[in-house]
Amino acid sequence: MRAITWHGKGDMRCETVPDPIIEDGRDAIIKVTACAICGSDLHLMNGVIPSMESGDVVGHECMGEVVEVGRDNKKLKVGDRVVVPFTISCGECFFCTRGFFSGCERSNPNKGMAEKLWGHSPAALFGYSHILGGIPGGQAEYVRVPYADVGPIKVPDGLTDEQVLFLSDIFPTGYMGADFCGLKGGETVAVWGCGPVGQMAIRSCFLLGAERVIAIDTVPERLAMARAAGAETLDFKEVDVYEAIQERTKGRGADACIDAVGTEADATASFDSVIDRVKTATFLGTDRPHVLRQAIHCCRNFGTVSIIGVYGGFLDKIPFGSAVNRGLTFKMAQTPVQHYLPILMERIQKGEIDPSFVITHRAGLEDAPDLYKTFRDKKDGCIKVVLKP
């Protein structure tokens, strides 16, 4: 089959690889009808996620038709149309039974690697490094889904691929970011990053009762999309973000701050972001957490910092004193997608949101290597790429 593979920094290819086969009775094989490129895939492409190997099949946002089912899988049938969550979860362990699906303690076959770096292992993810399982991803014609009697959700009739595809990742992720803010109605939320995840977070904040959203980025079409959702916008290259948020919140700060940027924050002129760039470029640091620092700084006393952008290692110069002395709450996760799926499928069915608004580019797998670059460089108005294998 054809699939997108990783071959080192900046080198994504469309290649022929072996077809996946059933390896466990609970597996299913899905013929992929639509998949997408995520901002997290850019961290792979940019070489900032450790333990990738040349030839790894990537992709963790996908959906399609079931073409083969393992003998112990009682939930799926050949022909079912499903969306596949990016997190792989057994459904039975301590964490899965408590709804913390992305903390599944069984699905990562390379647990030991993760325990060395992080103390404990989270769930395995599709197409996202060997430390997170080395499971081949879904930017491919076919994908093997482990524990396929837990993850995939069947698509009700009448919904198109594009309406439901983002249930695999960015919609639940953006929604979780807003959910973490504990909104009761009337709040002002600041959202850093107007990429696809930020866009879902902005709309989710309004769905959950925020009165105002202040969205921060520098890419004009992304800021325009945020305004179309009802957000006020700040260009971090034009204004001092802290001063601008102070002005808009009577000097108090935002009730909640969502970091939807993560480890590869753009270096603005600020001193700390320049240091981050130097340290990561010389392998003295692992992440560039400029946005996280700014989000802490801009959050009001006893507010919440919700972190949905991905970080990998040991973060430097986090203003913890500010957080402790002012009583901030931190919430963060790789999204426990299965926890949010039923609620969000229902919101799509009721017409409360159509996540396909974010799509700007559609193509086949062969064009994916070029589109990775277009998405990375934010060229050609690119906000979200959907691939149809």
Ligand X SMILES: NC(=O)c1ccc[n+]([C@@H]2O[C@H](COP(=O)([O-])OP(=O)(O)OC[C@H]3O[C@@H](n4cnc5c(N)ncnc54)[C@H](O)[C@@H]3O)[C@@H](O)[C@H]2O)c1
Footprint of ligand X on this chain (CB under 6 A)? Answer: 38-40, 42-43, 169-170, 173, 192-198, 216-219, 222, 236, 260-262, 265-266, 268, 290-291, 308-310, 334-335
Binding partner selected for residue 285 from Zn ion, ligand X, none, CB under the kind-specific 5 to 8 Å limit: none
Give 20 or 174: the residue with its C-beta nearer to ligand X. 174
Q: Which of 336, 6, 27 is nearest to 172 (CA)?
A: 336
Rounded to 5°, angle at Cα 325 from 265 and 304: 50
**Shortest reach from residue 96's CB to Zn ion, in Å:** 3
1 lies in the site for Zn ion, by CB under 5 A: no
Give 76 or 88: the residue with its C-beta nearer to Zn ion. 88
For residue 219, give both structure tokens. Answer: 């890419």
**Shortest reach from residue 98's CB to Zn ion, in Å:** 10
40 lies in the site for Zn ion, by CB under 5 A: yes
Binding partner selected for residue 389 from ligand X, Zn ion, none, CB under the kind-specific 5 to 8 Å limit: none
For residue 345, give both structure tokens. Answer: 């499928």
CA distance 213 to 230: 8
Binding partner selected for residue 340 from ligand X, Zn ion, none, CB under the kind-specific 5 to 8 Å limit: none
104 lies in the site for Zn ion, by CB under 5 A: yes
Task: Return the range that interacts with Zn ion (CB under 5 A); candidates 38-46, 111-119, 159-167, 268-276.
Answer: 38-46
Binding partner selected for residue 197 from ligand X, Zn ion, none, CB under the kind-specific 5 to 8 Å limit: ligand X
Burial class of residue 33 in the structure, from the number of CB atoms within 10 Å of its CB (0-12 exposed, 13-18 middle, 19+ buried): middle
Binding partner selected for residue 196 from ligand X, Zn ion, none, CB under the kind-specific 5 to 8 Å limit: ligand X
Give 20 or 59: the residue with its C-beta nearer to Zn ion. 59
| Out of 3, 38, 307, 310, the residue judged to bind Zn ion by CB under 5 A | 38
In three state form, how does the secondary structure of 262-287 look?
A: CCECCCCCCHHHHHHHHHHHCCCCCC
- Residues 172, 198 contacting (CB under 8 angstroms): no
Binding partner selected for residue 194 from ligand X, Zn ion, none, CB under the kind-specific 5 to 8 Å limit: ligand X
| Cα 232 → chain centroid | 23
Give 10 or 186: the residue with its C-beta nearer to ligand X. 10
90 lies in the site for Zn ion, by CB under 5 A: yes
For residue 343, give both structure tokens. Answer: 């609620």
β-pair partners for 329: 304
CA distance 381 to 386: 14
For residue 114, give both structure tokens. Answer: 């993760």
**Shortest reach from residue 58's CB to ligand X, in Å:** 13
Tell me which residue has tokens 């009802």: 230
Window 278 to 337, contacts with Zn ion (CB under 5 A): none
**Shortest reach from residue 268's CB to ligand X, in Å:** 6
CA atoms within a 13 Å half-sphere pointing along the CA-CB vector of 295? 32
169 lies in the site for Zn ion, by CB under 5 A: yes
Return the H-helix or E-strand segment holding 385. strand 385-387
Binding site for Zn ion (CB under 5 A): 38, 40, 89-90, 93, 96, 104, 106, 169
